[in-house]
Amino acid sequence: MSDEVPAIKAPRNRRFIKKPDVKARNAKLAELNKELDKYNKEIADLNKQIEVTVTPKDVLEERKRLTSELNTIIKQQSEIKNKRNLLSEQIRAIDGQMKKKIGELQAQNSKNSFKNVEEIDKKINQLEDLIGSGTLKLVDERRYVKEITSLRKLKKDFGSIEQLQKSIDNDKLKIQELKKKQSSVSNKEIQAKFEEVTKSLDSLSLKNKGIQDKRQSLFDKRKALYSKKDGIYAEINKVRSEFDAQHKKFVADMEAERKRREEEERIYNLTLKKQDLQAEIELLKETSKRPAFTREITLVETLLGYFDPTYVRTDKEPLEESKVPSNTTSNGRKIEMPADAVIIKKEKENFFAGNKAKKGKKTQKKHSSAFVIEPNVIAQLSELSISLPSKADEIPNTISSLKAKLEEFKSKQEEQTKENIAKADERAADLEAEIAKIDAEIEEEAKTKVVKASEEAE
């Protein structure tokens, strides 16, 4: 498997977001507050001028007296007006009743030609004289008798007509009295007094016009300054609002940048994890193809070659010495050296310690019964759980143990290789499932990012 790792795009650096300039804002506010102080001083000066520009006390007292008198006159005028209105309402009410009575009287008089009871009596007497003369025909006599009966009935009704007429005459008298009373309630004197007081007040106002004009001018100037102050306050609010909006946007941008970086880092970390898992799968696939106990077999054959130089290796690519652990132990086994064994470091040569010195070197002191084994060989034998030979006579037993161990590894190699492949496939399937979850997370992150971008665009 290649050792090269595909390049992954790292999260980009944090985007620089400029913070609102607090100093610039404060400078603007300081300038505006300076203008406010200036206007406040001018307004204070105007207030002092307004306090001293006042109407004289005697004029104010006279005006107060005239105003009070005018209010009294207005009240009297109102009372007179109410009285006249009340009399007018009474006149209208009586006049309405009288007109109604006149209508009833006219309706009754239209039914006959008699004006009073005397005329009716005169007519009855005439008819009775005619009947009493005996010269009338029976038919005429009956007709006259019937007419006399009607006239006598009319005479009785005529009494109510006379009463109605008397009531009408009384109403006319009442109206005359009310009109006379209304005329007596005159408003002329009060009106004259009203005009006199009003004229006096106008005269005072005219005399005081200069002072009032000056005060009004001062009021207008003060109003203009208040208007300018309002403008300054509006600018201050605008500066603060703009700064607040900028600061709010700054905070929002910083938060958005933080979330963006978190998303990118999350995707980056997920991608790294996915890559590591893929590399682990590739390593599993590669290592599972190797025969089981390859390393152990190579180690045994290396040791066989060490103890028996005539041994012919079965593997074509012997394990390099650097790949064989030189100081490891197997199964926690403690390495024990024979009492007469000596460990030394030396160049690789015959494992027996000779007394022949090399050329250019001093002859080493001969040990009468020393048996020398290299430290890495001791560690390798311990790893294979093979007893360490304490003397040269035990080397054949060590070689036999190594060959037995070699046969044991080779006999189990095929079965163990299949088992290793099965375990590797199972582990690879688990890793593929984990990669699928990571892909789903990355896809979900991408969708969320698209949705957020769409919402921000709207």
Q: Tell me which of 148, 174, 206 is where a domain ends.
A: 206
What single-letter amino acid sits at 280? E
Instruction: Name the residue range of residue 240's domain.
Output: 22-39+208-287
- What's the mean pLDDT in 294-304? 92
Could you give the CA distance from residue 243 to residue 27 in angstroms, rounded to a whole number?
12
Query: According to the model, what pLDDT value does residue 159 have?
Result: 64
Mean pLDDT estimate for the chain: 79
Q: In the numeric block, which tokens belong to residue 457?
A: 């665009």
Domain count, the chain: 3
Whether residues 219 and 339 share a domain: the answer is no
Percent of the chain with pLDDT over 90: 28
Whether residues 82 and 178 share a domain: the answer is yes
Residue 398 — pLDDT band, cuts 50, 70, 90?
very high
Whether residues 61 and 200 share a domain: the answer is yes
Whether residues 186 and 213 share a domain: the answer is no
Lowest mean pLDDT among 144-153, 283-292, 380-389: 144-153
Query: Would you give the DSSP letter of residue 342?
Result: E
User: 125 or 327: whose pLDDT is higher?
Assistant: 125
pTM: 0.41
User: 32 or 117: whose pLDDT is higher?
Assistant: 32
Whether residues 155 and 113 share a domain: the answer is yes
Whether residues 342 and 410 share a domain: the answer is yes
Kind plus residue range of the DSSP H or E element containing 231:
helix 209-289
Whether residue 60 contacts residue 211, with contact meaning beta carbons closer than 8 Å, is answered with no
User: 199 or 35: whose pLDDT is higher?
Assistant: 35
Query: According to the model, what pLDDT value does residue 228 have?
Result: 94
DSSP string, 257-299: HHHHHHHHHHHHHHHHHHHHHHHHHHHHHHHHHSPTTHHHHHH
Q: Is residue 319 part of a domain?
A: yes
Q: Is the pLDDT of residue 350 over 60?
A: no
How large is the greatest C-alpha to C-alpha distance in the chain, in angstroms? 217
Lowest mean pLDDT among 79-88, 158-167, 326-335: 326-335
Q: Is the pLDDT of residue 357 over 50?
A: no
Query: According to the model, what pLDDT value does residue 250 have?
Result: 93
CA neighbor of 270 nearest in space, from 436, 416, 382: 436
User: 398 or 123: whose pLDDT is higher?
Assistant: 398
Q: Is the pLDDT of residue 158 over 70?
A: no
User: 344 or 176: whose pLDDT is higher?
Assistant: 176
Could you give the CA distance from residue 440 to residue 90 in angstroms, rounded to a whole number?
101
Whether residues 143 and 196 share a domain: the answer is yes
Whether residue 277 contacts residue 435, with contact meaning beta carbons closer than 8 Å, is answered with yes
Whether residues 329 and 417 share a domain: the answer is yes
Residue 378 CB neighbours (<10 A): 19
- What's the mean pLDDT in 401-409? 92
Whether residue 335 contacts residue 377, with contact meaning beta carbons closer than 8 Å, is answered with no
Could you give the CA distance from residue 312 to residue 403 in angstroms, rounded to a whole number?
12
- What's the mean pLDDT in 44-48? 94
Q: Is residue 333 part of a domain?
A: yes
Query: According to the model, what pLDDT value does residue 110 have?
Result: 59
**Which residues, other chains included, contact 82 with Cβ-Cβ below 8 Å and sequence gap of 6+?**
none
What are the percentages of helix, strand and coil residues in the chain, rounded to 5? Answer: 75, 0, 25
Query: According to the model, what pLDDT value does residue 115 have?
Result: 63
Whether residues 153 and 298 share a domain: the answer is no
Phi, psi of 342 (to 5 degrees): -125, 130
Using DSSP, state whether 341 is helix, strand or coil. Answer: strand
User: 217 or 109: whose pLDDT is higher?
Assistant: 217
Q: Is residue 442 part of a domain?
A: yes
Query: According to the model, what pLDDT value does residue 139 have?
Result: 80
Query: Would you give the DSSP letter of residue 319?
Result: P
Q: Is residue 336 part of a domain?
A: yes
CA neighbor of 269 nearest in space, from 74, 8, 1: 8
Whether residues 268 and 304 share a domain: the answer is no
Q: Is the pLDDT of residue 364 over 60?
A: no
Q: Is the pLDDT of residue 114 over 70?
A: no
Query: According to the model, what pLDDT value does residue 33 have?
Result: 95
Whether residue 274 contacts residue 431, with contact meaning beta carbons closer than 8 Å, is answered with no
Q: Is residue 351 part of a domain?
A: no
Whether residues 202 and 218 share a domain: the answer is no
Q: Is residue 12 part of a domain?
A: no
Which pLDDT tens digit goes with each residue over 6-37?
A: 556 677 777 788 899 999 999 999 999 999 99
- What's the mean pLDDT in 314-329? 43
Q: Is the pLDDT of residue 222 over 90?
A: yes
Q: Tell me which of 158, 185, 206 is where a domain ends.
A: 206
Percent of the chain with pLDDT over 70: 79
Could you give the CA distance from residue 437 to residue 276 in angstroms, rounded to a whole number?
14
Whether residues 194 and 215 share a domain: the answer is no
Contacts 24+ apart (CB under 8 A), 193-196: 193/73, 194/70, 194/73, 194/74, 194/77
Strands 341-342 and 371-372: parallel
Whether residue 261 contacts residue 11, with contact meaning beta carbons closer than 8 Å, is answered with yes
Kind plus residue range of the DSSP H or E element containing 371:
strand 371-372
Which pLDDT tens digit goes with each residue over 322-343?
A: 343 333 333 333 334 444 444 4
Which pLDDT tens digit goes with each residue over 365-382?
A: 444 456 788 999 999 999
Could you give the CA distance from residue 436 to residue 91 in angstroms, rounded to a whole number?
109
Phi, psi of 51 (to 5 degrees): -65, -35
Q: Is residue 362 part of a domain?
A: no
Q: In the numeric block, which tokens belong to residue 299?
A: 């180690």
Could you give the CA distance from residue 214 to residue 223 in angstroms, rounded to a whole number?
14
Q: Is residue 428 part of a domain?
A: yes
Query: According to the model, what pLDDT value does residue 243 have?
Result: 95
**Which residues, other chains included, contact 116 with Cβ-Cβ below 8 Å and sequence gap of 6+?**
158, 162
Phi, psi of 230 (to 5 degrees): -60, -40
Q: Tell me which of 249, 272, 287 is where a domain ends.
A: 287
Looking at residue 143, which CATH number applies to its domain? 1.10.287
* Maximum mean pLDDT: which of 162-166, 199-203, 407-411: 407-411
DSSP string, 166-199: HHHHHHHHHHHHHHHHHHHS--HHHHHHHHHHHH
Residue 447 — pLDDT band, cuts 50, 70, 90?
confident
Could you give the CA distance from residue 279 to residue 166 in angstroms, rounded to a whole number?
135
